Amino acid sequence: MKTRVQKEQNLAALKEEFGNAGHALMVSFQGLTVEKDGELRRALEAAQLNYRVVKNTIGKLAVEDTPLEPLKDHFKGMTALAYSPNDPVGLAKVLTKFAKENPHLTFKAGVVDGRAINVKDIQALASLPSKEELVSKLMFLINAPAQRLATVIQAVPRNLAIVIKQVAEKKEAA
């Protein structure tokens, strides 16, 4: 059994962990088998996301004065938190995909950038493109005008060279 000091240290560590997380989704996993829970943990670990099953009383204390404080009232029943410091879309995608395959995993609430979101918002968040996809699309849009300009600039000397070559061929033929 843990001493009071150990419990306080664990609470402080959990509070620090939650303090660094800007985004979190709270789920209920009642009825989920150990095997399926292991699959979920591996999927979240592969995506470099964190997952914690917490006791409700400890969870309520741990989220106080953190960006996850809006979740405080949702600690009821079997509760787990999946959280990430910087990728709410990836978090929502992994959990939504798993929840579609396993109906025992249900969403309770979520927090994105310290703002509470409901279950509908979680579905919308999961349908967004990932951060990497958005960055690549933005880079393409920024780069496209420069590529077009370079093509146009190269076309003038190329066309001039073709015309000169054709004139030279006509003179040789004549």
Superfamily of domain 4-128: Ribosomal protein L10, N-terminal RNA-binding domain (3.30.70.1730)
- The span from the CA of 46 to the CA of 29, in Å, is 20
Tokens of 171: 């003179």
- Return the domain boundaries, the chain: 4-128, 129-174
- The span from the CA of 117 to the CA of 25, in Å, is 9
Strands (E), the chain: 23-28, 50-53, 80-84, 106-112, 115-117
Written as tens digits, the pLDDT of the chain (174 aa) is 778 888 888 888 888 888 888 888 999 988 888 999 899 999 989 888 889 888 888 888 888 888 888 888 888 988 899 988 888 888 888 899 999 998 888 898 888 888 888 888 888 888 888 777 888 888 888 888 888 878 878 877 888 888 888 888 888 887
Segment 64-104, tens digit of pLDDT: 888 888 888 888 988 899 988 888 888 888 899 999 998 88
- The span from the CA of 165 to the CA of 102, in Å, is 69
